[in-house]
Amino acid sequence: MITLNVNIDHIATIRNARGGTEPDPVTSAMLAELAGATGIVSHLREDRRHIKDRDVLLLREMIQTKFDLEMAANPEIIEIALKLKPDLVTIVPEKRQELTTEGGLNVRNNRDTLRKLCQDMHSKDIEVSLFVDPDEMQIEESLIIGADMIELHTGAYANAKGEKAKNLELNLLLAAATFAHNSGLKVAAGHGLNYYNTQNICKIPYIKELSIGHSIIARATYTGIEKAVKEMLDIIHLNTPKSI
């Protein structure tokens, strides 16, 4: 079965809007777990625009499922991750001006940094996933530098307009997932997935984990986080092929 890792960064964005203590992303993470989420994701950005150091420390203490710390390959954040010991780190490119992570990593151009990052994380039993576009070259490079997993960037699929453009992106994701799996990498996917476009992603063989934030937190503002998580889990369960 495909597992669902819920990204709770936007809860911290709301909290920070007033500089206070509520809503608390740690409480939301606990509620997401109670609703059936199999992992929690949070991105400790260099500028701390949403999740803060206090949050990741508490999340590490509280998460019962799997803690995926999303981060850039930035020396300060690497040091924090090595002390924190999340179950998984997902490495993303990070630009200060972006609203959210915009593109996949250029693994080839950052080989040495990423190879060393993998070695350091593995020395603390932390798995490493690299966030990449559905591009065979970047996937091959991920394997070469020692990553355990890739997360396929689904943003282009999510933003594609019309059936033809969507199918084109789905085919790229299918080819990339197959190539990564056959190369021995675990495969996750995420970015821009919602209650309408996740169905097709679930049908792609070899994608074993989804990382979803914005749509679940947005729906949670209407329904509460437990219902929002459960509704996404229902979509995943209904659309995952029986053999996976």
Any idea which residues carry the catalytic annotation?
43, 70, 191
Q: Are 201 and 210 in contact (CB under 8 A)?
A: yes
User: Which one among 29, 40, 180, 212 touches ligand PXP, defined by CB under 6 A?
Assistant: 212
Q: How many residues bind ligand PXP (CB under 6 A)?
A: 19
Q: Which residues contact 111 (CB under 8 A, 6 or more apart)?
A: 141, 144, 145
Task: Scan residues 103-162 and list those touching ligand PXP (CB under 6 A).
Answer: 131, 151
Cβ(108)–Cβ(80) under 8 Å? no
Q: Which residues are 21's β-sheet partners? A: none
CB 90 → ligand PXP: shortest distance, Å? 5
* Piece of the chain touching ligand PXP by CB under 6 A; list 29-37, 178-186, 207-215, 232-240: 207-215
Complex with ligand PXP: residue 165 or 218, whichever CB lies closer: 218
Determine if 214 is a binding residue for ligand PXP (CB under 6 A): yes
Which 24-53 residues touch ligand PXP, going by CB under 6 A? 43
User: What is the pairing mode between strands 88-91 and 127-132?
Assistant: parallel
86 binds ligand PXP (CB under 6 A): no
Q: How far is the CB of 238 from ligand PXP (least distance, A)?
A: 19
Residue number, 108 or 214, with CB nearest to ligand PXP = 214
Show the tokens assigned to 161: 């307009």
User: Helical H runs in the chain?
Assistant: 9-17, 25-34, 53-62, 75-84, 111-123, 136-144, 155-159, 163-183, 198-202, 214-223, 225-239
* Smallest separation, CB 104 to ligand PXP (Å): 9
